[in-house]
């Protein structure tokens, strides 16, 4: 008799273990990302006190609510966050996983991104984004692990 056991890793043709990839923003993806939290490098000080809510629309699992606070993204909305950004799923993935700032600019200029609340907090995050968009080697390694978990 054979029994099936779910695993979160798979082997490549060379026998190396690789993490299983999950759809971006799915519950399984968040669970896998949360398992890496202790390995995440510290967020730049410039973004540590910024809180922004984000609603990601049009994903495979429907709309998802998340937030950026204390230098990281997580599930759900933060009570009292002064700004909420609504963004399409494909743009959120390009911004958060691929670190493509042009995706956000193009979507904003095309009217695909909606901003509610205090836009100055979002501008502070954008001003500090240089630290996030030009990551050091430690951040690049962590982003590589995040990309391995994402499909």
Q: What is the pLDDT of residues 43-85, one digit of tens each?
A: 777 777 889 999 999 999 999 999 998 878 899 999 999 999 9
Question: Quick one: pLDDT at residue 24?
Answer: 95
| Span 16-50, pLDDT tens digits | 455 689 999 999 999 999 999 888 888 777 777 88
Top-confidence residue, 100 or 18: 100
Taking the C-alpha atoms of residue 67 and residue 92, their distance in angstroms, rounded to an integer, is: 12
CATH entry 3.30.1050.10 includes domain 19-146: yes
Could you tell me if 113 and 12 are in contact, meaning their C-beta atoms sit under 8 angstroms apart? Answer: no
Considering 43-47, 109-113, 142-146, the range whose residues carry the highest mean pLDDT is 109-113
- C-alpha 30/C-alpha 12 separation (Å) is 23
Give the confidence band of 133 by pLDDT, cuts at 50, 70, 90: low
| Whole-prediction pTM | 0.79
Cα gap 47→61, rounded to integer Å: 29
């Amino acid at each position: 008799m054979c029994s099936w056991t779910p695993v979160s890793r798979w082997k490549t043709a060379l026998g190396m273990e690789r993490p299983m990839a999950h759809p971006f923003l799915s519950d399984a993806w968040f669970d896998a990302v949360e398992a890496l939290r202790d390995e995440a490098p510290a967020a730049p000080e410039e973004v540590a006190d910024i809180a922004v809510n984000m609603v990601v629309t049009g994903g495979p699992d429907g709309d998802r609510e998340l937030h950026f606070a204390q230098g990281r993204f997580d599930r759900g909305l933060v009570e009292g966050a002064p700004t909420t950004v609504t963004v399409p799923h494909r743009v959120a993935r390009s911004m958060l996983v691929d670190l493509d700032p042009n995706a956000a600019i193009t979507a904003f200029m095309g009217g695909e991104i909606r901003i509610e609340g205090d836009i100055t907090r979002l501008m502070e995050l954008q001003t500090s984004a240089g630290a996030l968009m030009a990551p050091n080697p430690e951040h690049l390694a962590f982003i590589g692990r995040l990309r391995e978990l994402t499909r």
